[in-house]
Amino acid sequence: RKEVEQDPGPFNVPEGATVAFNCTYSNSASQSFFWYRQDCRKEPKLLMSVYSSGNEDGRFTAQLNRASQYISLLIRDSKLSDSATYLCVVSEYGNKLVFGAGTILRVKS
């Protein structure tokens, strides 16, 4: 079983749509949780951290369910510029990051 599992997609959505991504992780000792964004042929960049209380950054909302070992990302009012691969990431001891394989989002006009 992979440590971090995501639906690879692609998710093809029209501009203005709301889209949700989910991921699950296997290590219950994981300490911190994140969503990274990776544009085609570019390096990953931190999109946002994820907390059990839920957190929002503009059009992006992330949620963590520790009991179910489940992380989600909701994007509202999708823009063309949101097209990218979204990587679910968990942090283990010593700042070690474990990445999922990513979910591809394509926003179309």
Partner 1 sequence: EAGVAQSPRYKIIEKRQSVAFWCNPISGHATLYWYQQILGQGPKLLIQFQNNGVVDDSQLPKDRFSAERLKGVDSTLKIQPAKLEDSAVYLCASSSLVGSYNEQFFGPGTRLTVL
To the nearest whole angstrom, how small is the minimum distance from the Cβ of residue 44 to partner 1? Answer: 6
Q: Exposed, middle or buried: residue 80 (CB in 10 Å: 0-12, 13-18, 19+)?
A: exposed
DSSP, res 84? E
From candidates 43, 53, 68, 109, binder to partner 1 by CB under 8 A: 43
**Can you tell me which residue has the tokens 């979204």?**
86
Q: Rounded CA gap, 13 and 17, in Å?
A: 6
Q: Rounded CA gap, 2 and 13, in Å?
A: 27
Kindly indicate which of the ranges 12-20, 36-44, 53-61, 65-73 contains the residues binding partner 1, using the contact rule CB under 8 A: 36-44
Q: Is 53 in the site for partner 1 (CB under 8 A)?
A: no
Q: Is 66 in the site for partner 1 (CB under 8 A)?
A: no
Site for partner 1 (CB under 8 A): how many residues? 21
- The residue ranges that bind partner 1 (CB under 8 A) are 4, 8, 31-32, 42-46, 87, 89, 91, 94-102
